[in-house]
Amino acid sequence: MAVWAWNAILALVCGNTILWKPSSQTPLCAIACFLLVQKALKKFKEYPQDIFALIIASRSISQKIIENKKSALVSATGSVQMGKNIAPLIAKRLGKSLFELGGNNALVICKSADLNLAIEAVVFSAIGTAGQRCTSLRRLYVHKSLIKEVIESLISIYINLKIGNPFNINNLMGPLINKESYMNMKKTLKTIKKQGGEILYGGKRIKKTFSKSSYYVKPALVKIEHKALLIQNETFAPILYIMEFENIKEAIFMNNDVPQGLSSSIFTQDLKEAELFTSSFGSDCGIVNVNVGTSGAEIGSAFGGEKDTGGGRESGSDSWKNYMRRQSCTINYSNKTILSQGLKFSKSK
């Protein structure tokens, strides 16, 4: 939501009006942001007060917005499948689009890593917002010499995690958004066993202290091989796949060996490893971090990813180009016609 808020400000600064159709699953967040913008606009009474509109509706209204030629730019955040569904509709009318789609984010823990720093980043990236953000950590690659220690540390932390009402500052993880999300998580965990994976901890729903309509779960830790097919897909839930590697080149290969390319991280004290990971031979993601987790967005940096993540960029120094119409303007202050290629123009007599 923070990235979206920055883009809204950017769009307004660039002289645009905004029509926001949020996910039907998060209407309250959208209304809260909308009211903040309306409150800010009241302080500038000389400006139009209707430059930002909000529509709370089902998905059917999205298609009308997408297909409308008056929608100068369609900025869409969602799943890879959503992007593949709406991209042809926008392209059909030669419209402009900006996509920020799914992530299948990986974090690499090298032999030289500061483990205390790395473990903290792993936990927050994997369980923050219950694993329901595009930059959530899905895949953890650990050097084989550290795999046992890392797994033991994570299990110990996961066992003691405080899960509950997210409005309680003492709780580190809240609920899944709905029953569908829980069922998707449950289905994935069953598939893990079929593909040779081992559930080390978690995955069960917590029922005792919560209402029947809420879906609180224990986050899952899974040991699996990178070759498992489910590694190729993103499950929007707190499931962390743990795999081992022998050398940095193998880790980079596995980091890149998925269709998505949003966020990635490496934890190392070796400068050569860090530089390789951030180079053109390293991570192919739009976001590449060193000794920082995958989760979150730096508001001054370009936010977005490559491959099936969509290729678009929000925020950052170049994002304003998406929200403005470019014009090339040539002004001739002389009284002569200037031609290219050195040609000379003479009036016929």
The structure tokens 């050569």 sit at 272
CB 3 within 8 A of CB 314: yes
Pairing type for strands 52-54 and 18-20 reads parallel
- Could you tell me which residues come within 8 angstroms of residue 20 by beta carbon, excluding any fewer than 6 positions away? 8, 30, 34, 52, 53, 54, 55
Write down the catalytic residue from 33, 110, 134, 285.
134
Helices (H) and strands (E) in the chain, counts: 9, 15
What the block records as the tokens of 205 is 């729903």
Write down the catalytic residue from 14, 29, 33, 100.
100
Looking at the DSSP bridge assignments, the partners of residue 173 are: 163
Q: Minimal CA–CA distance to 267: which of 294, 243, 234?
A: 294
Kindly report the number of other CB atoms within 10 A of residue 23's CB atom. Answer: 14
The question of whether 134 is a catalytic residue gets the answer yes
The question of whether 100 is a catalytic residue gets the answer yes
- Could you tell me which residues come within 8 angstroms of residue 298 by beta carbon, excluding any fewer than 6 positions away? none
CB 153 within 8 A of CB 308: no
Beta strands in the chain (DSSP E): 18-20, 52-54, 73-77, 96-100, 105-109, 137-143, 198-201, 205-206, 216-217, 220-223, 239-245, 260-261, 263-267, 287-290, 306-307
Residues recognised as catalytic = 100, 134
